[in-house]
């Protein structure tokens, strides 16, 4: 089965990790600062603070944005649950605003409608690696005094109006989960141009302690102070050495993903019943995912049947995402019934993520193209002869078996 995403680890990555294993530092040592500096430079931000995961990084960003009980933060429903969960970790309330029909990113018009006197932050998501529409979002944030935390976990290396994601919002959050552009196993980063935010993020990830072990060792002092309630969210030197080595290959990784996306789009743009992802003219996406939408009327079936047919062709398709408000925890806690965010919910019913990763061979890409063409054509032809929609619309858990990160 060709997976939808996977890491590429080469000999130099392995060597970088071995070097750290032979060094004096396993946890917060020199590789953390090196990785932070290299990532900040790559995205055009002044500061970068490494965290033990993208989720921990989101939590850190929610903390330093000052989110607290009674506050609201607005995000898109079509995202991984961590984007909204980080608001709950702070005791604040996540509020959703629907997505734009083309990019499936937070729609600034819907966002404007959801802002209240309780709103403190906005978390736009760069879905699939296509940057969110940050300029109107930042303008709204400026007007209402909100902090913008960009969930850029899909978008390392993407560009928005010629600028790199990571240096535009008040804070941007990246993940180094193995399916992402840079893999450290688990890992994350917050980038920002504000020194005060960077300073608080560093404390928050290290128990709220005002200095780190390296600073204490250098100064020869034992004294430290816990100045806020933090966590152990540190990323270690082993992971950062891997991240640094992987970061050197980011350009090649992005170039390959863009090549694959171009090939897919050329192959599918005229395929009946298949809608390719749209790309706005002012962005250069990072293509973490390549999500197609399947039209149930033209194919006379639902997404679940197409999904299963592609799996039967050994194409490890996946679905990103079940909208967050439709998960049982959110339904039970906030009373969502479905129907609240029609654009995201309708898109969810049609989305299928095709394999998209740096290490795909040309033959892999052609296999996917062949399988999608075969399956879509078979359903479309059947639809011509049957002439009515026969699918079920509710996917069962066994249809979505992989982790949905």
Site residues (CB under 6 A) for ligand PLP?
53-55, 79-80, 82-83, 125, 151, 153-154, 175, 177, 188, 405
User: What is the token pair recorded at 280?
Assistant: 């706005």
Grouping H, G, I as helix, E, B as strand and the rest as coil, residue 212 is coil
Contact status, residue 152 vs residue 173, Cβ threshold 8 Å: yes
Residue 366 Cβ vs ligand PLP, minimum distance, rounded to whole Å? 27
Report the C-alpha gap between 1 and 117 in whole angstroms.
Answer: 50
Cβ closest to ligand PLP, residue 164 vs residue 181 = 181
Cβ closest to ligand PLP, residue 129 vs residue 296 = 129
Report the C-alpha gap between 284 and 280 in whole angstroms.
Answer: 8
User: What is the token pair recorded at 38?
Assistant: 């290299």
Residue 377 Cβ vs ligand PLP, minimum distance, rounded to whole Å? 32
User: What is the token pair recorded at 63?
Assistant: 């903390």
Dihedral, CA of residue 139, residue 143, residue 145 and residue 148, to nearest 10: -10
Q: Which of 180, 248, 249, 337 is catalytic?
A: 180
Element (H, E) at 299: helix 296-299
Report the C-alpha gap between 262 and 253 in whole angstroms.
Answer: 14
Residue 55 Cβ vs ligand PLP, minimum distance, rounded to whole Å? 3
Report the C-alpha gap between 14 and 270 in whole angstroms.
Answer: 43
- Who's near 203: CB < 8 A, 6+ residues apart? 209, 210, 227, 228, 230
Q: What does the radius of gyration of the chain's CA atoms come to, in whole angstroms?
A: 22
Residue 373 Cβ vs ligand PLP, minimum distance, rounded to whole Å? 28
Cβ closest to ligand PLP, residue 186 vs residue 302 = 186
- Who's near 183: CB < 8 A, 6+ residues apart? 7, 8, 9, 176, 177, 242, 243, 246
Element (H, E) at 307: helix 303-312
Cβ closest to ligand PLP, residue 125 vs residue 250 = 125
Paired residues of 283 in beta bridges = 160
Cβ closest to ligand PLP, residue 318 vs residue 383 = 318
Q: Which residue is nearest to ligand PLP (CB)?
A: 54
C-alpha pair distances (Å), 218 with each of 29, 199, 211, 225, 266: 12, 19, 11, 17, 57
Cβ closest to ligand PLP, residue 17 vs residue 235 = 235
Helices then strands (H, E): number in the chain? Answer: 15, 13
Cβ closest to ligand PLP, residue 153 vs residue 322 = 153
Residue 324 Cβ vs ligand PLP, minimum distance, rounded to whole Å? 10
Report the C-alpha gap between 314 and 371 in whole angstroms.
Answer: 9
Q: Is 180 a catalytic residue?
A: yes
Active site residues per annotation: 180
């Amino acid at each position: 089965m060709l997976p939808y995403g996977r890491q590429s680890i080469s000999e130099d990555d392995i060597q970088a990790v071995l070097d750290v294993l032979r060094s004096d530092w396993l946890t917060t040592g020199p590789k953390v600062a090196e990785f932070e500096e290299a990532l900040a430079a790559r995205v055009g931000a002044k500061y970068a603070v490494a965290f033990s995961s993208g989720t921990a990084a989101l939590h850190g960003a929610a903390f330093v944005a000052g989110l607290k009980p009674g506050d609201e933060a607005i995000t898109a429903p079509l995202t991984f649950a961590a984007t909204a969960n980080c608001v709950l970790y702070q005791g604040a309330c996540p509020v959703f605003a629907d997505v734009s029909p083309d990019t499936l990113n937070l729609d600034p018009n819907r966002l404007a409608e959801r802002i209240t006197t309780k709103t403190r932050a906005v978390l736009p998501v760069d879905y699939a690696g296509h940057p969110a529409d940050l300029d109107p979002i930042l303008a709204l944030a400026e007007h209402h005094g909100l902090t913008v935390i960009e969930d850029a976990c899909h978008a390392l290396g993407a560009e928005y109006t010629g600028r790199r994601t990571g240096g535009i919002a008040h804070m941007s959050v990246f993940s180094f989960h193995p399916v992402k552009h840079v893999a450290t196993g688990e890992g994350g980063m917050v980038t920002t141009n504000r020194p005060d935010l960077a300073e608080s993020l560093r404390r928050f990830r290290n128990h709220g302690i005002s200095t780190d072990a390296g600073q204490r060792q250098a100064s020869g002092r034992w004294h430290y102070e816990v100045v806020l309630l933090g966590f152990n969210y540190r990323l270690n030197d082993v992971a950062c050495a891997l991240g640094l080595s992987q970061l050197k290959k980011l350009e090649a990784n992005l170039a390959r993903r863009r090549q694959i996306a171009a090939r897919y789009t050329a192959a599918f743009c005229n395929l009946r019943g298949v809608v390719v992802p749209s790309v706005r003219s002012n962005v250069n996406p990072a293509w973490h995912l390549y999500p197609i939408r399947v039209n149930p009327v033209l194919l006379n079936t639902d997404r679940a049947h197409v999904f299963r047919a592609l799996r039967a062709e050994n194409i490890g398709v996946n679905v990103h995402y079940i909208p967050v408000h439709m998960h049982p925890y959110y339904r039970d806690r906030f009373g969502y019934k479905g129907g609240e965010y029609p654009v995201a919910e309708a898109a969810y019913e049609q989305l299928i993520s095709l394999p998209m990763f740096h290490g795909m061979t040309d033959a892999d890409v052609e296999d996917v193209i062949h399988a999608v063409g075969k399956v879509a054509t078979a359903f479309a032809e059947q639809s011509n002869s049957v002439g009515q929609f026969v699918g079920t619309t509710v996917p069962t858990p066994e249809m979505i078996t992989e982790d949905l990160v």
